[in-house]
């Protein structure tokens, strides 16, 4: 089978499996991205996320991660939940975490795609990844033409915006490669202007200070949250969608049709008072199999308390 036909079959199967987009790039060292990542790590932008410093060589070169690999197949799965939202005054959870843990959902589908290639195209060696190993998923999705990396550092599709998960297959099969698309951010600075903690800075577009991001504070940071930032959290208790919600390209978002990403109805009915009184039993019930488990019951309680202590006023902390 020639590579054009093999590539078309893989993309068609990916769509059949529920992936919104599928693109392919040559497995090779990410030279430019490697320099940027090194610089970013040297500035300690990763905060306590020490794991980002591990396996640097494998992170920037898929042929070191999967010896003999020739292609990186990038896939995207929609998680935009439309009007399925929490009550307006409840502490907020990032849209990606409303349903079942995406790692499980995407891995299962990628495994099926991998099996399909082996059965229908030919025996291949490789691995599949969903945030599970040192793979620069946005860089690969960008190279595969799934979108451009915006000033908020998210991958943005000109067709549907940025509310989607990414995953990759790295395999030793030669395929037809896609190219990058244009950056459509233009003169827009909405995400940079809206970021309440200064993790995005108008003077440094396309770069995130992850250690100042609400997602980092509410999910990754162990111990206490920083003094005096309560107002800046704008009631986000798990993750933050501000820089995506303000992005004009997300007006193109369309609701997903993946049952696994639907929230439990209890989650959408929880009021601010219910969150204040959250018990371990209710946490376990609402978040069974959810990404929110990552922060744990104690972590979420910490976050709920923190945003509840907000005075509702924003200080001048931003971009200080």
| Interface ranges with ligand SF4 (CB under 6 A) | 150-152, 156, 185, 188-191, 195, 197, 199-200, 208, 213-215, 240, 242-243, 246-249
Shortest distance, position 52 Cβ to ligand SF4, whole Å = 16
- Closer by beta carbon to ligand SF4, 216 or else 261: 216
**Catalytic hit among 61, 89, 131, 257:** 131
Shortest distance, position 50 Cβ to ligand SF4, whole Å = 19
Q: How far apart are the first and last CA of the chain?
A: 58
225 is in an annotated binding site: no
Shortest distance, position 143 Cβ to ligand SF4, whole Å = 18
- Closer by beta carbon to ligand SF4, 27 or else 214: 214
Instruction: Tokens for 35, please give them.
Output: 């320099």
Task: Write the DSSP string, 183-249.
Answer: ---TT--HHHHH-TTSSS-TTSTT---GGG-HHIIIII--SPPPTT-GGGGTTEEE---HHHHT-GG
59 is in an annotated binding site: yes
Beta strand 148-149 with 126-129: parallel, antiparallel or unpaired?
Answer: unpaired
Residue 131 is among the residues annotated as catalytic for this protein: yes
Task: Classify residue 109 as exposed, middle or buried by CB count within 10 Å of its CB (0-12, 13-18, 19+).
Answer: buried
In order of 138, 140, 159, 228, 229, the CA distances from 145 in angstroms are 11, 9, 12, 41, 38
Shortest distance, position 153 Cβ to ligand SF4, whole Å = 8
243 is in an annotated binding site: yes
42 is in an annotated binding site: no
Q: What amino acid positions are annotated as catalytic residues?
A: 131
Residue list for the binding site for tRNA: 222
List, as residue ranges, the binding site for cob(II)alamin: 59, 131, 152, 155, 166, 215, 240-241
């Amino acid at each position: 089978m020639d590579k054009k036909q093999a590539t078309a079959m893989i993309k068609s199967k990916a769509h059949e499996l529920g992936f919104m987009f599928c693109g392919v790039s040559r497995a090779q060292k990410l030279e430019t991205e490697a320099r940027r990542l090194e610089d970013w790590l040297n500035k300690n932008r990763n905060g306590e996320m020490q794991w980002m410093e591990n396996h640097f060589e494998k992170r920037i070169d898929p042929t070191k991660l999967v010896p003999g690999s020739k292609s990186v197949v990038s896939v995207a799965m929609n998680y935009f939940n439309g009007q399925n939202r929490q009550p307006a005054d409840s502490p907020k959870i990032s849209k990606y975490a409303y349903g079942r843990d995406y790692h499980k959902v995407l891995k299962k589908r990628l495994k099926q795609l991998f099996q399909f290639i082996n059965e229908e195209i030919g025996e291949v060696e490789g691995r599949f990844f969903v945030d599970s190993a040192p793979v620069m998923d946005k860089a690969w999705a960008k190279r595969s033409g799934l979108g451009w990396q915006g000033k908020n550092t998210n991958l943005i599709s000109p067709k549907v915006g940025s509310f989607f998960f990414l995953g990759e297959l790295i395999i030793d099969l030669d395929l037809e490669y896609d190219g990058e698309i244009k950056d459509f951010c233009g003169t827009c600075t909405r995400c940079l202007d809206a970021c309440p903690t200064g993790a995005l800075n108008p003077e440094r577009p396309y770069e995130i200070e992850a250690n100042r991001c609400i997602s980092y504070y509410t999910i990754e940071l162990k111990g206490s949250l920083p003094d005096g930032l309560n107002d800046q959290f704008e009631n986000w208790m798990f993750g933050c969608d501000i820089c995506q919600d303000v992005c004009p390209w997300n007006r193109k978002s369309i609701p997903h049709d993946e049952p696994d990403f639907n929230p439990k109805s209890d989650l959408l009915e929880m009021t601010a008072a219910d969150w204040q009184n959250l018990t371990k039993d209710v946490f376990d019930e609402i978040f069974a199999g959810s990404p929110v488990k990552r922060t744990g019951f104690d972590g979420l309680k910490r976050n709920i308390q923190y945003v509840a202590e907000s005075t509702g006023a924003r200080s001048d902390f931003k971009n200080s």
